[in-house]
Amino acid sequence: MRPLSKKLSAIERSQTMMLFARAKKMKADGIDVVSLTAGEPDFPTPQTIKDAAIKAINENFTKYTANQGIPELLKAVAEKFQRDNNLRFEPSQILVSSGAKHSLYNSLQAICNRGDEVVIPAPYWVSYPEMTKLVDAVPVIVKTSPANQFKMTPSQLKKAITRKTKAMILCSPSNPTGAVYTKEEILAIADVVESSGIYVISDEIYEKVVYDGLKHFSIGSVESVRDQVITVNGVSKAYSMTGWRIGFLGARGDITEAADKVQSQITSNANAIAQKAAYAALCGNLDGEVSAMVTEFDRRRHFLVSEFQKIAGLEFIYPRGAFYIFANVRNFLNKSANGSRIKTADDLCEHLLTKHLVATVPGSGFGAKDWVRMSYACSMADLQKAVERLHRALGELS
Ligand code: PMP
Ligand code: GLU
């Protein structure tokens, strides 16, 4: 038999998706597992958005659309970027895709040649290095420090840039650390971007999920680098629309055109009905709904932080945005429990899942090996259950 793709042997399956599916399957099998895996808000999608989709179906808006997206959504995205992020785009500079994940992949396809380097600060979201490899570029991982909330400094970026660097990926608020770059930090990064001429893929999917009065700042709004920035966002997190699969990017015209060309040969337009729903999300005056969700995430964040502070030996990054807690578990490694030896954070996550029915994601997938990511996008009742189990499980190990 002929071999399958060689490239894929160097690519990991998405850990977040894998563990999410595993926890879901256990639940379907009747096992009382609490899943802190995927960052998926537990709220229903707001009713006005659902109504827009139902209306679209009833009006037979069920056919292909323009590859780039329906005109009213392109316009609404351009207006959203202006309103929320101070980014100036014509609708022609917007590309609507099947989730922000797809927008990120299209962005990389649009700018990378074989062998180009893409700077990715670690801890990173699981898919960045793998997507980079999929487009035949080379991920250059920059290790950041927990002492700096895992934020990349301008000098770290400068050091990582070579002749071959094509781009860097910036994720603020960050998945998995919950760190939020300040305006000053972004401006300092922008200086390096400007002088080096690299592109920035700015993943702003958690833009609306920030706490403690912080405000998200878009690097693309810095005039000196605006033509070097591809801004990626979507409706999954802000409007609890993960399953609808709508993401978008805004960029310099030729970049958007290149990404649009890629998409035209791979998937064509994003789902027509979901585009109508995304339009309703962006134009529906849903700020109240969004802030109610964020307030609830904040309540859960406070709950988890205060509970985790009571677990001796558990260290974590105080999350300022998104809905994850990233915890260092080194004090629980090289210990035994119920006859099994726990050597790595991966072993610990396996132990937590199989013996204590709490599903988490090990840091290995995020480029941080002694760490574990826990999502608090799930219900408070689930979080309470998870905390009790974690107290017990980690107590046995410490
Ligand atoms: N970027 C980050 C950092 C994410 O956590 C996610 C969540 N899946 C995405 C992009 C992709 O979001 P979407 O559901 O819109 O594809
Ligand atoms: N972004 C979410 C997460 O990191 C969903 C899973 C995924 O798309 O990989 O959990």
* 93 alpha carbon – ligand 1 mean position (Å): 21
pLDDT at residue 66, rounded to an integer:
98
Question: Per-residue pLDDT tens for 166-192?
Answer: 999 999 999 999 999 999 999 999 999
* 256 alpha carbon – ligand 1 mean position (Å): 19
CATH number, span 47-284: 3.40.640.10
Is the C-beta atom of 39 inside 6 A of ligand 2? yes
Taking residues 128-136, report their average pLDDT: 98
Task: Look at residue 285 and give its three-state secondary structure.
Answer: coil
The answer to whether the beta carbons of residues 393 and 355 sit under 8 Å apart is yes
* 235 alpha carbon – ligand 1 mean position (Å): 10
Given a cut of 70, whether residue 388 has pLDDT beyond it is yes
Q: For residue 186, what are its two tokens?
A: 């972004």
d(CA 60, CA 54): 10
pLDDT at residue 120, rounded to an integer:
98
Given a cut of 80, whether residue 398 has pLDDT beyond it is no
Question: Per-residue pLDDT tens for 206-252?
Answer: 999 999 999 999 999 999 999 999 999 999 999 999 999 999 999 99
Q: Which of 20, 35, 39, 291 is nearest to 174 (CA)?
A: 39
* 16 alpha carbon – ligand 2 mean position (Å): 6
d(CA 174, CA 205): 9
Question: Per-residue pLDDT tens for 315-338?
Answer: 999 999 999 999 999 999 999 887
- The residues near 176 (Cβ < 8 Å, ≥ 6 apart) are 123, 125, 324, 326, 361, 363, 366, 368, 371, 373
Nearest-atom index, ligand 2, CA of 39: 10
DSSP H helices in the chain: 15-28, 47-58, 71-85, 100-111, 127-134, 154-160, 183-196, 253-266, 272-283, 287-309, 345-356, 380-397
Q: For residue 55, what are its two tokens?
A: 């209306």
The answer to whether the beta carbons of residues 326 and 178 sit under 8 Å apart is yes
Pocket test for ligand 1, best of 18, 172, 237 (most atoms within 8 A of CB): 237
Which residue is listed with tokens 């690299």? 198
Q: For residue 116, what are its two tokens?
A: 């180009």
Question: Per-residue pLDDT tens for 361-376?
Answer: 999 999 999 999 999 9
One-letter amino acid at 37 equals: T
The answer to whether the beta carbons of residues 306 and 319 sit under 8 Å apart is no
The answer to whether the beta carbons of residues 326 and 123 sit under 8 Å apart is yes
pTM confidence score = 0.97
pLDDT at residue 339, rounded to an integer:
80
Dihedral sign for Cα 160, 175, 316, 212, please. Answer: positive
What's the DSSP call for residue 64? Answer: -
* 396 alpha carbon – ligand 1 mean position (Å): 35
- Per the DSSP assignment, residues forming a β-bridge with 234 are 247
Whose CA is closest to atom 10 on ligand 2? 38
* 205 alpha carbon – ligand 1 mean position (Å): 6
**Chain mean pLDDT for the chain:** 97
d(CA 198, CA 189): 11
* 395 alpha carbon – ligand 1 mean position (Å): 33
Sheet containing 165-171: give its strands across: 94-97, 247-250, 229-234, 199-203, 165-171, 117-122, 138-143
Given a cut of 80, whether residue 141 has pLDDT beyond it is yes
Nearest-atom index, ligand 2, CA of 37: 10
Is the C-beta atom of 360 inside 6 A of ligand 2? no
Nearest-atom index, ligand 1, CA of 125: 3
The answer to whether the beta carbons of residues 144 and 151 sit under 8 Å apart is yes
The percent of residues in the chain predicted with pLDDT above 70, rounded, is: 100
Domain definitions of the chain by residue range: 6-44+288-397, 47-284
Please report, to the nearest 10 degrees, the dihedral formed by the alpha carbons of residues 302, 304, 306, 309 taken in order: -140
Whose CA is closest to atom 2 on ligand 2? 39
Least confident range from 37-41, 67-71, 187-191, 302-306: namely: 37-41
Pocket test for ligand 2, best of 14, 20, 232 (most atoms within 8 A of CB): 20
pLDDT at residue 307, rounded to an integer:
96
Q: For residue 322, what are its two tokens?
A: 């998104």
Is the C-beta atom of 321 inside 6 A of ligand 1? no
Give 329-394 as a 3 state SS string.
CHHHCCEEECCEEECCHHHHHHHHHHHHCEECEEHHHHCCCCEEEEECCCCHHHHHHHHHHHHHHH
Pocket test for ligand 2, best of 102, 104, 125 (most atoms within 8 A of CB): 125
Question: Per-residue pLDDT tens for 345-364?
Answer: 999 999 999 999 999 999 99
* 328 alpha carbon – ligand 2 mean position (Å): 20
- Per the DSSP assignment, residues forming a β-bridge with 371 are 328
pLDDT at residue 397, rounded to an integer:
87
d(CA 84, CA 90): 15
Is the C-beta atom of 41 inside 6 A of ligand 1? no
Question: Which overall architecture, per CATH, does domain 6-44+288-397 show?
Answer: Alpha-Beta Complex (3.90)
Is the C-beta atom of 125 inside 6 A of ligand 1? yes
d(CA 230, CA 95): 11
What's the DSSP call for residue 37? Answer: -
Q: What distance lies between CA 292 and its chain's CA centroid?
A: 21
Q: For residue 360, what are its two tokens?
A: 């988490």
Question: Per-residue pLDDT tens for 59-107?
Answer: 999 999 999 999 999 999 999 999 999 999 999 999 999 999 999 999 9
User: In 210-230, which positions are buried (b, 16+ CB within 10 angstroms) versus exposed (e)?
Assistant: bbeeeebbbbbbbeebbebbb
Q: Residue 125 CA: which ligand is closest? A: 1
